Each structure stands twice: as C-alpha cells, then as structure tokens.
Amino acid sequence: MKNLMTLGCSYSQIYYHPDPRWSYTWLLKEAVGAENLINLAFGGNSPSGVTRMLEWYLRNPVKGMPDFIYVQVPQGQREEYYLSDPSKKFLNEFTFVLTNKNMYKTMMEYGAWHALRQDEAFGDYERYKRPGDKDFKNDEELIEDMPWDQLLAVGGTIWNEKSNFDGDWYQQNLFIHNKDDMFITSKEVFNVQPSWAEARTADNKNLAKEIKDFHKLWANYKRQRPEMVNTVRREIVLMQNLAKRHNIPIAFNSTDNVIIPETKEFSTFDDKVTHFDSMINWKNILKYESINNNSKTWANDDYWDGHPGRISHERYAEKVIPFVKSLLS
C-alpha cells in the first residue's frame, strides 16, 4: 500500500500528540505497511464536514489518491452548515489541506492552532515517553525528528473568535508562508457542536449571543438520539459511495460508542435501525469501539489539552488494525 488516508475530528488529528507517531493513525499506517499517511482530520469536525473534506480531496488529489480510507466518524450531534449571509461572515471557518513541513510547526509560528503546540505538549512527551524512546531537549528537536516525507498532508480549520477579525487577511498571511502547499477546501462553513458555543465566544458578547442563539436552535433538533444516528448513517452512505466511485476500499467507526460516566453503562448507536441501513456495507463498519474520552479503550491518560493519550491510542489501534487487515485480505 502506498497511501493510507484517515479522516475524523480531533481524536484522529495528528497535531495534538506530543509525537505524531503516537496517534492511532500512524500506528495503523505502520501496521498495514503503508508508505505514506494522508491525515485530513481536524478539531471540531462533524460527520458532514468529514464527507466534504473527503469529496474535496478525491476531486483534488494533491498528494496522490489513497489506497485505503479509514474514517473515524465524529459524534452525530455535530453538523456543518453553510452560511452565505455576508453579515454573518465572521462566524465562518475556513478549512484547508496543508502539504508542507509547516503542517506541524505552524502551530507555534502563527498561532493558528494556539492550544496545540505549546510547552505543555512537549511536557506530555516527557510524561509519557518510555525506555528506548529518544530524549529531546525541546519541542523543536522532536519535530525535526519526524519523518515528514511519510506524512503527506493534514487537514485543518481556523475560526474567528472576534466579529472584527479579518479572516481574509489571515488566510493571505498563511498563504505567504505556505505558498503552493496550502489548499482552501471551504470558506463558508460553520461546524456546530456544544463545545464550540463556548470556545468561540472569548471576550465578545455579541459573538457569544450569535453563536449561542444558533446553537440553541440547532440543539433543540439535533441532540435527540434518533437524529444523531441518522446523521452518522447518512454521511457513511455518502462517503461509501464517494470511495466506491474511485474504487477505493473504505472503513468506518462511529465515535458515539461510549461508556456513560454517571451509570458506567455502555451506549452504542451501532444496533439502531435507520432508513439508510440497506445502503451501507456493514462489513466495513467497526462496531462497538471508538476513540474518545469515555470509550472502552480509553486509558484515563489524557494529554494536557484533554484529548486521549498515548495508551488510549494504542488500545484503540489494537482494535482497528486487525479489522482493517481483515478487509485488506
């Protein structure tokens, strides 16, 4: 296999790991013998956002077509909307694919992912490294050790926290530093989810009201479990058909398989029935597993920013790898 592609939300993105090679996506790449990884996951993504990113890349294969696609489908309570009203432009994110070495260094240089590559990230390397792991003096040394020629592309998103933020200028500034290596996949989308309602309202009351009003309307309709599972199944059908058009094998796993903290009971949507089910190839669905903070593979080893840590990713990889290998065989 030449190119393995992975998609999802922050649970699959490679940026927040102290060492990118600790991500289950890299472990999967190594286990199936893929030469390269194309990781288009990004924080806050939704099932529909993943579909859009996949469709864009298959239409614009800037680093070559994938030979296999693995999708960590984000929670069904998330949805991506298009906002075309010019007066609401400040709510929009822009999403992109980055294909140069700055895909990891950018976090420190431009602040685009301001919470992901700070000193705390390197602190997590010191915290979770094992005998035999390399000793690095600092984060820069660790980054330089990464085999960048094997990580062909990453996905990403940037959003505004202030209504007077000049997103167009920011895009141009990034393009200056990433000329010919940065591809905008959308500039008119708004991913809605509970945490975004808080994270995107920093020190701006007007923006807080806009987002919370939008979130309230969405939540009244999208938080219901039947709607959540339908959202996931709908996007699986779309992505499955996209991959089939290009004759690329694809596998899926839903993030909505969790242990409820209050009751300690396992909750899954995988056995729910929807009107999309007859259109899905169920042999390509990894059921009852997930990678999140309350999954069966979670090791209570969160990094400083709250994402599942090294051991959690290894445990999840132990479920994913034999499943993917069985499909490849």
> Using one digit for the tens of pLDDT, what is the confidence trace for 138-185?
887 888 888 889 999 999 887 665 555 555 655 666 666 666 788 888
- What is the token pair recorded at 169? 């200028």
- Specify which of 132-141, 213-222, 251-260 reaches the highest per-range mean pLDDT: 251-260
pLDDT score of 112: 42
pLDDT score of 116: 41
Show Cβ contacts of residue 226 under 8 Å, excluding neighbours closer than 6 positions: 272
pLDDT score of 328: 95
pLDDT score of 109: 46
Mean pLDDT score of the chain: 84
Q: How many domains does the chain have?
A: 1
pLDDT score of 314: 98
> Using one digit for the tens of pLDDT, what is the confidence trace for 290-302?
999 999 999 999 9
pLDDT score of 106: 47
- On the question of pLDDT at 325 being above 90, the answer is yes
How far apart CA 186 and CA 95 sit, in angstroms, is 5
Coil, helix or strand for 68? strand
> Using one digit for the tens of pLDDT, what is the confidence trace for 4-61?
999 999 999 988 888 989 999 999 999 999 999 999 998 889 999 999 999 999 999 9
CB 69, CB 249: distance < 8 Å: yes
Residue with tokens 């699959």: 12
Of 240, 244, 264, 265, residue with least CA distance to 252: 240
Show Cβ contacts of residue 265 under 8 Å, excluding neighbours closer than 6 positions: 259
pLDDT band at 122 (very low <50, low <70, confident <90, very high): confident
> Using one digit for the tens of pLDDT, what is the confidence trace for 72-84?
999 888 878 777 7
The domain in which residue 260 lies consists of 3-328
Any idea what DSSP says for residue 17?
S
> Using one digit for the tens of pLDDT, what is the confidence trace for 187-233?
777 766 655 655 556 556 666 777 777 767 766 665 556 678 888 99
* Residue 186: strand pairing partners: 95
pLDDT band at 114 (very low <50, low <70, confident <90, very high): very low
